[in-house]
Amino acid sequence: MTYVEKVLAQLKERNPGEPEFHQAATEILLTLKPVIERHPEYERAALLERFTEPERVVMFRVPWVDDKGKVHVNRGYRVQFNSAIGPYKGGLRFHPSVNLSVIKFLGLEQILKNSLTGLPIGGGKGGSDFDPKGKSDREVMAFCQSFMTELYRHIGADTDVPAGDIGVGAREIGYLYGQYKRIRDEHTGVLTGRGLSYGGSLIRKEATGYGLIYMTEEAMRVRGDSFEGKTVLISGSGNVAIYACEKVQTLGGKVVAMYDSDGCIYDEKGIDLAVVKQIKEEERGRIKEYAARVPGSVYKPGCKNIWDIPCDVALPCATQNEIDAESAEKLIKNGVKYVAEGANMPSTLEAIEIFRRAGVVFLPAKAANAGGVATSALEMAQSSGRMFWTAEQVDVKLKEIMVNIYHNIDRAAKDYGFDGDYVMGANIAGFEKVADAMMAQGIV
Ligand code: NDP
Ligand code: 2IT
């Protein structure tokens, strides 16, 4: 058994019942074999054992009272995974499917993603099994205040800086920040994705979606290709999906389908994004409404069949494991050329293998969706400097970062003899910097 296989087997044994964490660790560790072969000193320093063991895991009770006076108890998490290259940084997810396995897979991915941005941020992730859907603003506020009443003691602008993820947007960040400030009595960059009136950065809201498209555009450009005239599928209809759609449309692509967890809309003429924004951002409604408002569009209950629709570009922007082997086969049969992951781990290990064998240009999440956290780091820089950059300044930096990441993962893949394999490239390029920093800092 090689060192990598031994660490992976131990990880599965030590962390039973955590399938998402096993999946992310398997994908990452197996691609690191050639790096380990070049660096035998890593095994002597138990580097992979340390890399896959979170520095700290916090789990806590979050009690809150609903509008009818009923008391609820949710579970809160913060996994502070790796601080070798900077303070822990990563989002908070509020969704009923959240458990320790989900937060650990997201945290592990975040370490390498944050390294790829080239900015000084370590990896962390947190969240709760609380479901903000269908709750009143007061209920969401009550939950956020209770959540922060425990979380505040573990975070700080130079220690750990949470942000949004599924179910955590501007409203939740506002309530969380308000409670942090009230307890600590200080204004700091302790959360990113803040509103513009209290320290947020321009373009943070758009950054993950825009960044995804900037990287895909670069992968197209080097192949003499572009978004012009391309048919695009985007899963989800949340923050990442909406701003990916916006950028695709400005580059001349046609987005024909989006979804939420109830069902999928198909609009042959191209999605009218203003209608989607109105429904999702203003009304917090369901995507089904779109078909009622836009003549010629159709709604299909159940969201998985989005991948049956023929397209040139597929952009999964909802959640983990939304593209399985069957969906990957369908996409390939229908001629997909590019798959770029806006969501975290949206493709199963089998689906990735199918894309790889078919020669699809596959841009993995930790590279393709790094624009969000990169812009969070730009928000941290603005907070520390007590100043703001213009939207154009932030957007230029974001684009530069995404283009750089593309070339770094391309170079790392080539360097190790895996030309065009961006899963290898992203894991290797992300890991090299973290490994170097961990080795330099001794056994900690
Ligand atoms: P939002 O909460 O804004 O939107 C999530 C979207 O995905 C909604 O349309 C939601 O539908 C759908 N969705 C969520 N869970 C499921 C599910 N189990 N099955 C089907 N659909 C689902 O989240 P974001 O747009 O912020 O996040 C989307 C993805 O992007 C996540 O994987 C996140 O980790 C990743 N990401 C986000 C970043 C950010 O900056 N926000 C940065 C990098 C990655 P419904 O409303 O019905 O639940
Ligand atoms: O998955 C992610 O990178 C995010 N949810 C964004 C994290 C951040 O700190 O901006």
Per-residue pLDDT for 305 more than 90?
no
Per-residue pLDDT for 303 more than 90?
no
| 125 tagged catalytic | yes
Q: Quick one: which ligand is closest to 192's CA? A: 2
Structural tokens at position 316:
């999964």
Per-residue pLDDT averaged across 281-285, rounded? 97
Counting Cα atoms < 13 Å in the Cβ hemisphere of 288 gives 9
Q: Quick one: which ligand is closest to 121's CA? A: 2
Per-residue pLDDT for 304 more than 90?
no
Q: Quick one: which ligand is closest to 89's CA? A: 2
Rounded Cα gap, residues 269 and 297, in angstroms: 8
Q: Which residues line ligand 1 (CB under 6 A)?
A: 95, 97, 164-167, 169, 208, 236-241, 260-262, 303, 317-319, 342-344, 369, 372
Q: What is the 3-state secondary structure (H, E, C) of the chain?
A: CCHHHHHHHHHHHHCCCCHHHHHHHHHHHHHCHHHHHHCCHHHHCCHHHHHCCCCEEEEEEEEEECCCCCEEEEEEEEEEEECCCCCEEEEEEECCCCCHHHHHHHHHHHHHHHHHCCCCCEEEEEEECCCCCCCCHHHHHHHHHHHHHHHHHHCECCCEEEECECCECHHHHHHHHHHHHHHHCCCCCCCCCCCHHHCCCCCHHHHHHHHHHHHHHHHHHCCCCCCCCCEEEECCCCHHHHHHHHHHHHCCCEEEEEECCCEEEECCCCCCHHHHHHHHHHCCCCCHHHHHHCCCCEEEEECHHHHHCCCCEEECCCCCCCECHHHHHHHHHCCCCEEECCCCCCECHHHHHHHHHHCCEEECHHHHCHHHHHHHHHHHHHHHHCCCCCHHHHHHHHHHHHHHHHHHHHHHHHHCCCCCCHHHHHHHHHHHHHHHHHHHCCCC
State the pTM of this model: 0.98
What dihedral do alpha carbons 85, 407, 377, 320 form, nearest 10°?
-90
Per-residue pLDDT averaged across 406-418, rounded? 98
Counting Cα atoms < 13 Å in the Cβ hemisphere of 273 gives 16
Per-residue pLDDT averaged across 217-233, rounded? 98
Q: For the packed helices 370-385 and 391-415, what is the interaxial angle rounded to 10 degrees?
A: 130
Pocket test for ligand 2, best of 208, 345, 379, 382 (most atoms within 8 A of CB): 208
Per-residue pLDDT averaged across 301-320, rounded? 95
Per-residue pLDDT averaged across 285-296, rounded? 97
Question: For residue 71, how many other CB atoms are within 10 A of its CB?
Answer: 8
Determine the atom of ligand 2 nearest the C-alpha atom of 113.
3
- Determine the distance separating the centroid of ligand 2 and the alpha carbon of 124, expressed in angstroms: 9
Rounded Cα gap, residues 83 and 439, in angstroms: 13
- Determine the distance separating the centroid of ligand 1 and the alpha carbon of 319, expressed in angstroms: 6
- Determine the distance separating the centroid of ligand 2 and the alpha carbon of 89, expressed in angstroms: 8
Per-residue pLDDT averaged across 404-419, rounded? 98
Determine the atom of ligand 2 nearest the C-alpha atom of 90.
9
Q: Which residues line ligand 2 (CB under 6 A)?
A: 89-91, 113, 163, 165, 192, 344, 372-373, 376
Tokens 């600590």 belong to 184
Rounded Cα gap, residues 191 and 186, in angstroms: 12
Q: Whose CA is nearest to atom 3 of ligand 2?
A: 373
Per-residue pLDDT averaged across 252-262, rounded? 98
Rounded Cα gap, residues 199 and 194, in angstroms: 6
pLDDT digits (tens, 9 = 90+) for 350-403: 999 999 999 999 999 999 999 999 999 999 999 999 999 999 999 999 999 999
Per-chain mean pLDDT for the chain: 98
Task: Considering the candidates 104, 125, 247, 300, report the single residue annotated as catalytic.
Answer: 125
Per-residue pLDDT averaged across 263-269, rounded? 97
- Determine the distance separating the centroid of ligand 2 and the alpha carbon of 52, expressed in angstroms: 19
Determine the atom of ligand 1 nearest the C-alpha atom of 193.
40
Per-residue pLDDT averaged across 33-41, rounded? 98
CA angle at residue 120 from 116 to 125, to 5 degrees? 75
pLDDT digits (tens, 9 = 90+) for 48-101: 999 999 999 999 999 999 999 999 999 999 999 999 999 999 999 999 999 999
pLDDT digits (tens, 9 = 90+) for 143-194: 999 999 999 999 999 999 999 999 999 999 999 999 999 999 999 999 999 9
- Determine the distance separating the centroid of ligand 2 and the alpha carbon of 427, expressed in angstroms: 17
CA angle at residue 419 from 348 to 322, to 5 degrees? 15
Determine the atom of ligand 2 nearest the C-alpha atom of 121.
9
Q: Quick one: which ligand is closest to 20's CA? A: 1
- Determine the distance separating the centroid of ligand 2 and the alpha carbon of 380, expressed in angstroms: 13
Determine the atom of ligand 1 nearest the C-alpha atom of 168.
2
